[in-house]
Amino acid sequence: MRDTLHEILDTKKMLERIYKAQTLMDAACKALGRQINIMEVCGTHTVAIFRNGIRSILPGRLKLLSGPGCPVCVTDQGYIDIVLQLADRDDCLIATYGDMIRVPGKGGSLETKQSSANVKVVLSSEDALQLAKDNPDKIVVFVAVGFETTAPATAVVVKEAAKETIDNFCILSGHKLVVPAMRALISEKNHNIDGFLCPGHVSVIIGYRSYAEIVERFSRPCVVAGFEPMQIIEGLGEICRQLAAGKAELKSVYTAVVTEQGNVTAQKIIAECFEPVDGYWRGLGEIEKSTLQLKDKYSRFDALKRFDITETQTEDTSGCRCGEVLCGLIEPQECALFGQSCTPQEPIGPCMVSSEGACAAWFKYGPERRRKQ
């Protein structure tokens, strides 16, 4: 049974908060006198913004750019082809999070190979380790993709595998770091970004202090928000408040779970198992110290070393413009393939495959009506 009065008061309060945020946005647009571009870094934010129709309440001159915060989307083709190569081996079992299985590569995707029973979808890195324990005659390769939110989970099982000597377990690390990508975007690729809406759960791990460099060195507001619509709206409002005042500050509106220092236990375990190395991101190219590689102490669990594989970057000639989408340089519908040869049913690029990809979100939720200024 719903409490109607509670609902009415709730709604009134919510509308007041939205109106307050809109006032801040309008003030920023007026103060700057031009289009304002805010990059929402995280793929989950991209989807939440669409699902909640947030663009419909934004002023016409406030543009949201989708960023590279979709780990599947920024995983380069070379990595995907290695996974597919390993999936073909009779002595391997591939353990992967679900969102990777449809990414197309040479000779298909993991999904098309799933029928050969070499590919298992797991919800947790622990499931991947258990798979290794249950299948001693196979080598389990864990497709370790994700940002700092997910890297600690991989580190935990690598440590467990070492402790319990589970030698038939290894990981193909595709873990990437968010701040180096933000730094690369703002310093080279995209000078249009006025502020960043920072990822919620990555920030749980790294702490909002991690964005200090972006604020101080590049004078861009960095505000961490959660994924509920009010969080996003108020996060954007806060960025606009700063822009109107000519300031760049570090803030978090996701006070429920994000602290300044983050989850120190998780940070320590990442540091114990991994070191940041230069890595290649789809769309962004090579970024210094942006991907995680297992330290020498744990290198026997590194699939690249186990199978003696060298990572190569393959040039994508399909006409896919995921790279530009990921940098916020174009919107998905500007890609000639969008909705034509590239659809969620038959994706060409990972931005259409991933549940958090900008192209998939644009396709699913369609064009937004903009609030008239």
Partner 1 sequence: MCLAIPARIVELEGDKAVVDAMGNRWKAKTTLLPEAKLGDLVLIHAGFAISLVDEEEAKETWRLIAEINDFNQTQNKVSG
Per CB under 8 A, residues contacting partner 1 are 42-45, 69-72, 97, 99, 123-127, 145-147, 149-150, 152-153, 156, 199-202, 204-205, 227-228, 255-258, 263, 265-266, 269, 356
Long-range contacts of 330-338 (CB under 8 A, 24+ apart): 331/66, 331/358, 331/362, 332/358, 332/359, 332/362, 332/363, 333/362, 333/367, 335/359, 338/362, 338/363
CB of 14 to partner 1, least distance (A): 11
Give every CB contact of residue 268 below 8 A, 6+ residues apart in sequence.
none
In the complex, the smallest distance separating the C-beta of residue 159 from partner 1, rounded to whole angstroms, is 9
* 79 in Cβ contact with 172 (< 8 Å): yes
* Residue among 36 and 122 whose Cβ is closer to partner 1: 122
By beta-carbon proximity to partner 1, the closer residue of 36 and 269 is 269
Tell me the C-alpha distance between 184 and 177, whole Å. 11
Query: Coil, helix or strand for 182?
Result: helix
C-alpha separations of 319 from 76, 335, 340 in Å: 15, 8, 12
For residue 182, the tally of other CB atoms under 10 A from its CB is 26
Measured at the CA of 242, the angle between CA 239 and CA 248, to 5 degrees, comes to 95
**Angle CA(153)–CA(156)–CA(162) in degrees, nearest 5?**
145
In sequence order, the β-bridge partners of residue 285 are 281
Q: Which is nearer to partner 1, 63 or 201 (CB)?
A: 201
Q: Are 83 and 156 in contact (CB under 8 A)?
A: no
* DSSP per-residue string spanning 261-274: S--HHHHHHHHHHE
Closer by beta carbon to partner 1, 72 or else 342: 72
Q: Which is nearer to partner 1, 9 or 256 (CB)?
A: 256
Nearest approach, Cβ of residue 262 and partner 1 (Å): 9
Nearest distance, CB of residue 246 and partner 1, angstroms: 31
CB of 102 to partner 1, least distance (A): 15
Supply the minimum distance, in Å, between the C-beta of residue 63 and partner 1.
22
Q: Which is nearer to partner 1, 29 or 179 (CB)?
A: 179
Distance, CA of 172 to CA of 93 (rounded, Å): 12
Q: Minimum CB separation from partner 1 for residue 346, in Å?
A: 23
In terms of CB distance, is 248 or 360 closer to partner 1? Answer: 360
What one-letter code names the amino acid at 225?
Answer: A
Considering beta carbons, is residue 265 or 313 the nearer one to partner 1? 265
Query: Which residue in this structure is represented by tokens 């999936």?
Result: 87
Taking the complex as a whole, the smallest distance from the CB of residue 257 to partner 1 amounts, in Å, to 4
